[in-house]
Amino acid sequence: MEWRELLASRAWWLLLALTGPLVGQAFITAVETYAEMSGGVAGHGGPAALAQGLSPLDGLVVPTLGAYALVATFLLPFVAIRLVATERESGAAKLLAQTLSPQSGLALRLAAKAAVLLLGWLVALIPGLIALLLWRLYGGHLDFGETANVVLGHLLHALLTVAVAVAAAAVCRSSASAAIVTLGFTVGTWALAFVAEGREGLLARLAPFTPEAALRTFERGELRLAVVTVVALASLAGFAFAGLWIDPFRSIPSRAVRSAVLILLAIGGAALASSWRQGWDLAEDRRSSFPRADEAALRSLRQPVRVTVYLSAEDPKRTDLETNVLAKLRRVLPDFAVTNAAQSRSGLFESAQSHYGEIWYAVGSRRALLRSTTEPIVLAKLYELAGIPVPAAVAGPSYPGYPLAASPRGAAISFYIAWPICVGLAFAASRGRWRSSCKDLA
């Protein structure tokens, strides 16, 4: 029944029809830009620019699949809302609640809705897979690990969007109100990420787990257990919240109390999971990791490592330190903590103080001052404080870069013409089968 509801949804077919051109535009732009960075368009020779660091992850996979962030944010909620709102508005929800057991039947209905919506999203991923296939046919390189990681990020992003939309549809009386609530949630997470930028405290801890920030983690090639768990918990809580409000046999006070308990449990679980440091760098160029020899040496440290930073949150040097050193240390050191000792966001009124710009590293009882944010210098100082020898560099192949001066042959026809026509034909065929089924039942 849920699958037939999805096939009868014009919103889903419109989502499919628009996904092709959106992905196609992103793909064509990415291929042309990649060719320019590689030294020219196919057939026009030229020196390869930045070939050593040219990565298909940044140059093609992320911008092409980035179209799905727009689809999930602005189109997918309407599909999810329809599957819930139409049942409530037509009275079918009460009939279904009477024909099924109160608890297991409701859970089964919600599980079926979630499975069908995810299946519909997987169908919408077909244009993205076609784009990746075209890239391979052009002779482009794709690494399975980093590409699959980005796809997983978009899948979790869509799952969270569906959960929020279903929860909003279960509470609101109309589909329009549910759509506004869902969009308000999205805008609210954007505002949270914007306000938290350059700040410390609770906001800074929440910002990495907003939908867009979590997606950027996957796009960097990182698979962080904390991000996956928090997004999955939030999605599960959204469906559970919807189940409380879909049930017509519960009173409003009972729903409110149970919803409050559910939200508190979800927040507690997310707070616990957010402290997990386990993660994997799936990017082929290992951009978020130290060399393997250094990681092995750092994991062997049993002494606590503490870093005190006298840099404001908006100082570019602080950003370099976080990206080049601290984020990597958090994943490999067993006992690691950072204290941000600067008193303002900009540092304009701290620059005259004696401590501003200092970075203190402590390993056990030994401390040392550094002002550099360069990775080798910081690692050498940590080894010195820990009293261990600097690990010998292991010779290995460096990241070669994958330049490709190709033109997007056949992409415009595939995404702008062939895909919308196929979606239109499939929609007409499904409507014809739907009418035939209705006539047979009559």
* Per-residue pLDDT at 100: 55
Same domain? For 262 and 321 the reply is no
241: in domain? yes
DSSP string, 48-62: PSSGGG--HIIIIIH
Same domain? For 44 and 139 the reply is yes
62: in domain? yes
C-alpha to C-alpha distances, 305 to 251, 338, 388, nearest whole angstrom: 53, 9, 14
State the residue range of the domain holding 364. 292-386
Same domain? For 263 and 348 the reply is no
| Euclidean distance between CA atoms 310 and 359, whole angstroms | 6
Same domain? For 248 and 100 the reply is yes
What proportion of the chain, given as a percentage, has pLDDT over 90?
36
104: in domain? yes
362: in domain? yes
21: in domain? yes
For the record, the structure tokens of 319 come out as 């950003």
* Per-residue pLDDT at 157: 95
Same domain? For 267 and 334 the reply is no
b/e string for 375-414 if b means 16 or more Cβ within 10 A? beebbebbbebbeeeebeeeeeeeeebbbbbbebeebeeb
* Per-residue pLDDT at 49: 46
Q: Residue 327's domain is classified under what CATH number?
A: 3.40.30.10
Same domain? For 413 and 297 the reply is no
393: in domain? no
397: in domain? no
- Amino acid identity of residue 369, one-letter, is L
392: in domain? no
Same domain? For 129 and 19 the reply is yes
Q: Which residues of the chain have pLDDT under 70?
A: 40-52, 86-105, 197-202, 248-249, 343-354, 393-397, 432-442
Same domain? For 175 and 120 the reply is yes
The sign of the CA dihedral 350, 354, 359, 363 is negative
Output the pTM of the full model. Answer: 0.86
Same domain? For 38 and 98 the reply is yes
Same domain? For 108 and 251 the reply is yes
- Domain total in the chain: 2
Same domain? For 243 and 368 the reply is no
Q: What are phi and psi of 161, to 5 degrees?
A: -60, -45
Domain end among 354, 386, 418:
386
Per the CB < 8 A criterion, the answer to whether 65 and 162 are in contact is no
* Per-residue pLDDT at 435: 53
Same domain? For 275 and 297 the reply is no
* Per-residue pLDDT at 442: 47
* Per-residue pLDDT at 252: 80
* Per-residue pLDDT at 292: 85
